[in-house]
Structure formats: structure tokens, C-alpha cells
Amino acid sequence: TVYPTQNAVPPIDSPEVQRWLKELDLSGAPAFQLNTGAPPACPANLDPNVCYRTCQKCHADDVLICPDKDTWGLTFDDGPTDQTPDLLTFLKSSNTKATFFLLGSNVVKYPEIVKTEIEHGHHIASHTWSHHALTTLSNEQIVAEMKWTEKAIEDFTGYRVKYMRPPYGDIDNRVRFVLKKMGYIVVDWTS
């Protein structure tokens, strides 16, 4: 497999992305204007139906807390990196499990580390291909970000992810719609 350029939004005109888009019905997606800026800006008079986490602190049905009150979740984003093996050694020594939200471009770079995460009993999930703010991307670009990450994880580990965390926590109801159509459950964090 020839994967997209690391740390760049994957092109949407590839045969793979075109096939993935044909498999999805995104016709009912909300037609919100794409956000701009870095970090994304908060427009004045934002419609509450947008449910934009960054500006409106809206979480819709995103997972925010563990189901049991005496349970807490430990998560790590943006990996794997060359420092992840040291973290895995520490987690193993303390008998601690975590969820790793992985960047697809890093999965391709460090596939053996991802395999070790799974072998050690950790949970893995998607954090997109390139770590771009999702409200700044088109629906097609979101599909490309998610599906390339999904493909990389599955190609290298055989594991199929169903959870994802949006980079920067940047999500609105349009992005949620696309992710839900792809079968993803959004996991956010509390402050």
C-alpha cells in the first residue's frame, strides 16, 4: 500500500478515497460553513445547532466520562512516537492500561510500537491521519483522514478501531455526522 504523505491532509482524488466515499451516504450532513484559522476561530453569533465544542462547549453524545463513577480513563494522543516504548515500559511496570489515540501517519512510521500497545492489553483508537482541525476540513477530507488511519491500523495489526478523538477537540455536529456515518464513537476529555 502506498500511504499518503505524513502529517498532511490526504488528497481526496485517490481511488481509495473515491471508493470509500461511494460507500457512505453523506447526503444529510449539516451544511455548516468550514471553520478557518489556526486554531479555528469562533464566529460571532454561532448557531446553537452547530454544537461546536471549541466555542460552545457543546459535547452532544460524545463520550466524556467512564461509565462507572470509581473508574477513570488514561489516554495518550498523537502517537506512536519514538518515546512510546519508554511509556509502555512504565505502564507495564505499574500494571496500568491506557487508550492510545493514534495518528495514522505515525502508525505507518512505527507499526511495531502499535503492535506492542495491543500485545500489552492497551486500547487503540484513531486520532486522524494528520492531526488537522476537523471543522476546517470538507466532509471528503474527514473521510480521507479517518479511512487512511483505519487502513494503516488494520494493515499493520489486523485491529479495527471504532473510537476516535478529534485533534484539538475540534468538532461540531457536521463532523459528528460524518464520523457517525463511518461508525465511529467520539471520545472527548474533561477539563
SS3 string, 9-31, reads CCCCCCHHHHHHHHCCCCCCCCC
pTM as predicted? 0.93
Sequence ranges of the domains in the chain: 59-186
At 139, which helix (H) or strand (E)? helix 139-157
Reading the chain (191 residues) residue by residue, the pLDDT tens digits are 899 999 999 999 999 999 999 999 999 999 887 877 666 677 777 887 888 787 777 878 888 888 888 888 999 999 999 999 999 999 999 999 999 999 999 999 999 999 999 999 999 999 999 999 999 999 999 999 999 999 999 999 999 999 999 999 999 999 999 999 999 999 998 76
One CATH from 3.40.47.10, 2.40.50.100, 3.20.20.370, 3.20.20.450 for 59-186? 3.20.20.370
User: Contact, 63 vs 162, CB < 8 A?
Assistant: no
Instruction: Enter the C-alpha cell of residue 24.
Output: 457512505
Give the Å distances, CA to CA, from 176 to 14, 41, 58, 124, 140: 24, 18, 12, 20, 13
pLDDT score, position 182: 98
